[in-house]
Amino acid sequence: MTRKHEPRVAEGVDVTRPSIARIYDYLLFGKDNFAADRAAADKLMQSRLDPRRLALANRAFLRRAVRFLARVYVDHDPIVVAHNDALLATGDGVVTVRADVREPDAVLDSDALNGCLDLGRPVAVLLLSVLHFISCDEDAPGIVATFRERMAPGSYLVISIGTSDGADSEMLAEATTTYAGARMPFTLRSRGQILDLFKGFDLVEPGLVSLPEWRPDFNTDRTPLNGPTVGAVARLAA
Ligand SMILES: C[S@@+](CC[C@H](N)C(=O)[O-])C[C@H]1O[C@@H](n2cnc3c(N)ncnc32)[C@H](O)[C@@H]1O
């Protein structure tokens, strides 16, 4: 899809290369995306994975899960950080930190985060639709464990993530190839591997379930997802 007017481009941002964040924005009917993002997303949408439905289901899960939670957002994409600053950082306890989730200590030690959150008290860490962009070599369990070690008892962990369990292998191969074509890693994990990420936490009811099944409300579209994506909220025992 082409557009007459593209959004303004921040210095140093290569918009000829698709970005996960801007593809996600396009799937959510946002305006902060460029031709390369839309082309990659359109290609993804040709698969039976139904990525737009997945993005909307993830956003709805996020809303339900954070209604009583988050005050800090971390992302490594500069455009995401700039937009969050413009939209969310209203000076009343909301900050955006540009950091890489693969370096959890850097996230947790950042001045911006510590100026907003007291890690000596319970916090919520939300890793939503991000860990499937972390390859097996990059040790997702180790990343989550580092967060856990720095979280006070009574803190919460929220994860949403694509799973290989119950997946149509042909459809997933197609999605993986498309992401790889856009130079984005996409790693699906089994239910067991995902449950391991919650080691040390107690899952809140209903546990690890398909996103629309997590405490649905009157707004929730409960049609099964084509691309199996699960989520859970868990508490670090006091
Ligand atoms: C599908 S979007 C999900 C955004 C948001 N978490 C949500 O659920 O609405 C994935 C986001 O993860 C970010 N991302 C991917 N890899 C990352 C990394 N290693 N560190 C920090 N952010 C990352 C992307 O830039 C993108 O904004």
Distance separating alpha carbons of residues 27 and 37, to the nearest angstrom: 10
Residue 34 included in any domain: no
Q: Tell how far the Cα of 130 is from the centroid of ligand 1, in angstroms.
A: 5
Beta pairing class for 124-128 and 156-162: parallel
Distance separating alpha carbons of residues 176 and 199, to the nearest angstrom: 27
Residue 100 included in any domain: yes
Closest CA to 61 of 211, 188, 184, 206: 211
Give the per-residue pLDDT at 38. Answer: 95
Pick left, alpha or beta for residue 96 (phi over 0 → left; psi -120 to 50 → alpha; otherwise beta).
beta
Residue 227 included in any domain: yes
Question: Given CA atoms 118, 119, 122, 126 in this order, what sign does their dihedral have?
Answer: positive
> For position 136, which CATH number holds?
3.40.50.150
Domain tally, the chain: 1
- pLDDT tens across 212-233, in order? 999 998 889 999 888 889 999 9
Residue 181 included in any domain: no
Produce one character per residue of 136-175: b if its CB has 16 or more CB atoms within 10 Å, e if not. eeeebeebbbbbbebbeeebbbbbbbbbbeebeeebbebb
Residue 182 included in any domain: no
Give the per-residue pLDDT at 2. Answer: 58
Taking a C-beta distance cutoff of 8 angstroms, is the pair 128, 160 a contact? Answer: yes
Give the per-residue pLDDT at 107. Answer: 94
Q: Tell how far the Cα of 74 is from the centroid of ligand 1, in angstroms.
A: 8
Domain encompassing residue 216: 53-169+187-236
Query: Ligand 1 in contact with 102 (CB < 6 A)?
Result: yes
Low-confidence stretches of the chain (pLDDT < 70) are 1-4, 9, 68-71, 73, 88-92, 182
Q: How far is CA 104 from CA 73, 113, 146, in A?
A: 13, 12, 6
Hey, which of 107, 130, 147 would you mutate to test ligand 1's pocket, going by the most ligand atoms within 8 Å of its Cβ?
A: 130
Give the per-residue pLDDT at 20. Answer: 92
- pLDDT tens across 40-59, in order? 999 889 888 889 999 999 99
Give the per-residue pLDDT at 92. Answer: 67
Residue 215 included in any domain: yes
Give the per-residue pLDDT at 86. Answer: 75
Hey, which of 133, 146, 161, 187 would you mutate to test ligand 1's pocket, going by the most ligand atoms within 8 Å of its Cβ?
A: 133
Residue 180 included in any domain: no
Residue 224 included in any domain: yes
Q: Tell how far the Cα of 77 is from the centroid of ligand 1, in angstroms.
A: 8
